Structure 1
């Protein structure tokens, strides 16, 4: 199985070809946003304010900036800032620019203190960004094997169909990608609770297994510290309205999206996996935060597997682009959701229920669609200028 992708200098393969403009420090965010509006083919990421954050959160923000820039969907990078070095140690020139430079892709920097201030930086930034966009456009698609693909999945608004048809079909896809030498990621620490013993058995490395189990225990303890049991918060109301009754029931359906292959590691939010294969990311369930973390970890195509709890009535919900540099493929295993929202969604595995289609056959159909999107076809979300407000998963308090 092959697709047409953009092969980068570091050997990774993208399915889109953006020039990414980012501020190293929230203080230069306005400059980055303005340049993106002025230069075609660019994307911008506005980070949360690093001031007053603890070291762990600052490291997460820095890891997200570097990871997004290294993502194979990015063909060139412009980093802007107030000054070359300043602020917290996580955001030094070497920690950010030096790490991104290791990817070998075209990149440049712009610092306002060395070019005369904001207004002068706009003009110089336009010239730099336009040149980078041109350089990125010189990269052409070439035929690559399925094993070059790096994907991730989140499920949401779960109901019974999520565990019966939606998530198992994604799991079948992931098994195929991993078997071909590719990389796949799943997450949502809240939604493995009650099924963590099943997932834990799939870690060949005892140290990685312990990291996973400790992450689950941490979430349960954080909930208890507020005086609540996590099971009174999750399942969420949409899950309950759709027929799920317990968090354990929800988790058993949710873990099906990971397939059956060994899990090579438990990685932090926005952490790039060290090798190929299947990985678990310790993260929250928010779609905007999770898809951003997946992109920073290298995913070039995200899947949002939606259950029957998405539509409480007959209203249509236009899909949003939740991926910044990584497009999102919306799919469902619910025949009812597909009937209501097929104009907004990219794929249905509800035929496993309505037509008794074998899961493997539905997985083969999904793989064919993935290869089309990987070769350049736009997802439904990408056809609309509606962007979800992306957020970084930060766990510490503002100090």
Structure 2
């Protein structure tokens, strides 16, 4: 199906992209060898291994030990989600040996979910850091050599899953960049792709507007209940989300209330029916516009969407941010012309023509289709070229 646009503009035709076939699920638009720590104590060894092998990436994981069961479960969901990402060819796991979930158990769990090559090493088992790094580098090198032999194939846009994020919002976010990304989301959904919006705390105040997009009553009620439960959870802890939102940066940028911020936030998800509501890190089972219940912290939200299988993420910002992800390219866009000029090293797309009245948000949304196609076909985002890798695991589960 083609995207139906306003103003009499011609429809955009669905596109194909070059990707790497996976035995399970969507194709990858990257072919990384992931060096994955089971705990904080393995993170530095993973960083060193990745630095020695071209095509390898690593994450820094700051937990994994001395945790309660619910937090451990969430950490494992994120780590296995990263390993099963379509953008990952193979996985080298490094653990310490006394963490809550040891390297061999994590390896077995990942192997039960995918046919990708997966190996693991324990620092205590191998006799220290140097011996572990040596074995891990050899394993990663062999995987990288195998990954380089895999040929790209053409895939339909229906195989694409894009995450949608915002952070450091200002007044231009709600009136320009978020509507433009919402237009992009609608176009992609109409083409057959899937888009995912998260940060449920930033639905509060506008949840009734988002819920109107629900494909059925069950989804409508889930959206309303998520927001109710979130506020109730914070109240029980003696907190008020309206005291911390908008953030000081949001206020400096011209946002005055949580409702105002939320109305802008949900606009970036477009206008198409919401067909599914997901827990953090869970892959969608349907095509179309979906939403995920995550925290309002943009890095943890990006983390959850990457773990859920997004191949790319578009990130709107008014104040500016350098955020990137090791596994998933993060495309940064802003409609604040000053921010784009001051942070040109980090911003990928300038949407300020909308604010100046030179272009409509619909026009800029259509133009971003080409940018997404380029990212799918291998063009690096600025954060990706820098090698930025930000993750944060949210350990509060509110889904109902």
Q: Would the TM-score normalized by the shorter structure come out above 0.5?
A: yes
| Distance across 2 between alignment mates of 1:129 and 1:343 | 31
Deviation of 1:338 after TM superposition, in Å, equals 3.0
Structure 1 position 49 matched with structure 2 position 63: yes
- Residues 121-174 of structure 1: CA deviation (Å, up to 9, x unaligned): 333222211111111111222222222221111112223321221111111111
C-alpha deviation, 1:178, in angstroms: 1.7
TM-score (norm 1): 0.87
Counterpart check, 1:335 vs 2:337: yes
Aligned-partner Cα distance in 2 for 1:113–1:52: 18
Q: Residue 14 of structure 1 aligns to a residue in which SS?
A: coil
Query: Residue 99 of structure 1: CA displacement?
Result: 3.4
Q: Corresponding residue for 2:346?
A: 344
Residue in 1 aligned with 2:309? 298
In the other structure, the counterpart of 2:91 is: 77
Which ranges of structure 2 fall in alignment gaps of 5 or more residues? Answer: 1-14
Unaligned runs of 5+ in 1: 311-318
Separation in 1 of the partners of 2:381 and 2:129?
36
Matched, 1:190 2:191: no
Instruction: Determine the C-alpha separation between the residues in 2 that align with 1:157 and 1:391.
Output: 17
What are the residue-to-residue correspondences of 1:193-204 with 2, within 5 Å?
193-204=204-215
Q: What SS does the corresponding residue of 2:43 show, helix, strand or coil? A: helix
Q: Retained in 1: the 8 A contact 2:89–2:116?
A: yes
- In 1, distance between residues paired with 2:26 and 2:350? 29
2:269 is the counterpart of 1:275 = no
Identify if the C-alpha distance between structure 1 residues 100 and 218 changes in structure 2 by more than 3 Å, giving closer, same or farther: farther
CA distance in 1, matches of 2:59, 2:293: 22
Shift of the 28–235 alpha-carbon distance from structure 1 to 2, 3 Å rule, reads closer
Matching residue of 2:272: 261
CA distance 1:384–1:24, shift in 2 (3 Å): closer
CA RMSD after TM alignment: 2.5
How many residues of Structure 1 are paired with residues of Structure 2 in the alignment? 383
Shift of 1:325: 0.9
Q: Which residue number corresponds to residue 313 of structure 1? A: none
In 2, distance between residues paired with 1:303 and 1:347?
10
- Does the CA contact (< 8 Å) of 2:50 and 2:57 recur in 1? yes
Do the aligned partners of 1:24 and 1:96 also contact (CA within 8 Å) in 2?
A: no
Name the counterpart of 2:391: 390
Distance in 2 (CA, whole Å) between partners of 1:276 and 1:191 is 23
User: Counterpart in 1 of 2:370?
Assistant: 368
Tell which deviates more after alignment, 166-175 or 106-115: 106-115
Of stretches 220-229 and 188-197 in structure 1, the one that deviates more from structure 2 is 220-229
Corresponding residue SS for 2:359: coil
The Cα shift of 1:54 comes to 2.1
Q: Does 1:122 align with 2:124?
A: no
Counterparts in 2 of 1:217-228, with a 5 A limit?
217-228=228-239
Q: Deviations over 1:270-329 (max 9, x none)?
A: 22222322221111222222211111111121111012x44xxxxxxxx63521111211
Q: Does 1:170 align with 2:181?
A: yes
Residues 193 and 288, structure 2, Cα contact 8 Å, conserved in 1: yes
Distance 1:24 1:197, change over 3 A: same
Q: Is the 8 A contact 1:76 1:135 kept in 2?
A: no
Gap change, CA 1:124 and 1:226, over 3 Å in 2: closer
Task: Label 1:104 to 1:232 Cα distance change in 2 as closer, same or farther (>3 A).
Answer: same
Q: 1:377 aligns with which of 373, 376, 379?
A: 379
Report the alpha carbon displacement of residue 95 of structure 1 after superposing the two structures with TM.
5.9
SS of the residue 1:80 aligns to: strand
Q: Give 1:92 deviation, angstroms.
A: 8.0
